[in-house]
């Protein structure tokens, strides 16, 4: 992962995500793209001032954005002094998610790192509205969401939550495998079971293929009974096994989708206490390079 995009609004929450990324990739050569977007409200009434101390509002907001990025990069360099890290600053008059997707395309971004915090919106209580929008729109690279007050812990225990109903391609699993290899981490595959039910033939096939991909990486399979919800079940599992990072694949009917659709009363129990790596579905294009791709049209 050499190109990492980190959106920031200069808050403590955003700095925490930056801090985590610097430590996570401390031994890797990386270019970090720090992004700040601004959309100033321009007064439409002729009776309202369009200038502040002789400076147009849009110029004042842009200057503040650029100065904030410069200050942030200076703080990073002062704290870490890492010769492996380079920084590019992007200040943009645009909507956050739109700009992120443009940069992912134009710069070949391999990972988005963002901070998470609680939100008041009904649809995204458990993670924060911006984070959920980024995850829903990120189709070409993973999103690593860092909880608001999480302090960096070397991720030696990583959970990968799956229901085995979908064939995973090697391209989709690469971000998980890279992290595991970077830190010699153990991967704990966790399957949330609904009642007492054996795996179907399809699920067993996908599990076997998953274990083939993970060959050479220490891993274990855990089947856990659903508690009140998928989100609560995964949170309890993470606490009991001292998981440092939770990974999920984002596709139709996936655990990630289920968590964002769970009723509010169930979902509020999930506070993303640990970093969450959300990997987008790559589809048939990614499957073409995977082991057993020939079977993909049958088992996908």
pLDDT in tens, the chain (300 residues): 589 999 999 999 999 999 999 999 999 999 999 999 998 655 554 544 455 555 577 788 899 999 999 999 999 999 999 999 999 999 999 999 999 999 999 999 999 999 987 543 333 334 457 888 898 889 999 999 998 889 999 999 999 999 998 888 988 999 999 999 999 999 999 998 877 778 999 999 999 999 999 988 999 999 998 887 788 888 889 999 999 999 998 877 677 766 665 544 444 444 557 899 999 987 544 333 333 333 333 333
Task: Provide the number of structural domains found in the chain.
Answer: 2
Q: Are residues 176 and 280 in the same domain?
A: yes
Asked if residue 132 belongs to a domain, the reply is yes
Its pTM stands at 0.84
Cβ atoms of 91 and 62 closer than 8 Å: yes
Within the chain, residue ranges assigned H as helices are 12-24, 57-80, 96-107, 129-137, 170-183, 201-213, 230-240, 255-261, 264-267, 283-287, 296-299
Q: Is residue 47 part of a domain?
A: no
Point out which residues pair with 225 in neighbouring strands. Answer: 193
Which among 149, 69, 142 has a CA at the least distance from the CA of 117? 149
Provide the 8-state DSSP code for 256.
Answer: H
And the tokens for 252? 């139709």
In a domain, 274, yes or no: yes
Give a yes or no: residue 269 inside a domain.
yes
203: containing domain = 153-300
Q: Give a yes or no: residue 46 inside a domain.
A: no
């Amino acid at each position: 992962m050499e190109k990492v995009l980190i959106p920031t609004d200069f808050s403590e929450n955003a700095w925490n995500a930056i801090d985590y990324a610097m430590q996570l990739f401390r031994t890797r050569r990386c270019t970090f793209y720090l992004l700040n977007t601004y959309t100033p409200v321009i007064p439409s009434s002729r009776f309202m001032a369009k200038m502040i101390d002789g400076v147009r509002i849009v110029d004042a907001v842009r200057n503040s954005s650029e100065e904030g990025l410069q200050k942030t990069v200076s703080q990073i360099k002062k704290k870490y002094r890492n010769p492996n890290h380079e920084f590019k600053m992007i200040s943009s008059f645009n909507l956050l998610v739109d700009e992120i997707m443009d940069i992912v395309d134009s710069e070949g971004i391999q990972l988005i790192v963002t901070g998470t915090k609680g939100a008041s919106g009904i649809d995204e209580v458990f993670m924060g509205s911006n984070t959920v929008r980024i995850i829903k729109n990120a189709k070409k690279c993973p999103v690593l969401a860092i909880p608001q007050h999480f302090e960096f812990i070397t991720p030696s225990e990583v959970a990968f939550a799956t229901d085995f109903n979908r064939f995973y391609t090697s391209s989709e699993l690469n971000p998980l495998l890279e992290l595991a290899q970077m830190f010699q981490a153990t991967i704990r595959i966790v399957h949330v079971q609904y009642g007492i039910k054996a795996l179907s033939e399809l699920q067993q096939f996908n599990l076997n293929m998953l274990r083939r991909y993970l060959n050479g990486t220490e891993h274990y399979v855990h089947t856990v009974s659903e508690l009140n919800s998928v989100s609560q079940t995964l949170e309890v599992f993470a606490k009991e096994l001292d998981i440092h990072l939770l990974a999920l694949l984002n596709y139709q009917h996936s655990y990630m989708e289920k968590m964002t659709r769970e009723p509010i009363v169930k979902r509020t129990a999930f506070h993303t206490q640990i970093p969450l790596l959300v990997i987008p579905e790559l589809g048939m294009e990614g499957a073409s390079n995977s082991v057993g791709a020939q079977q993909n049209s049958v088992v996908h």
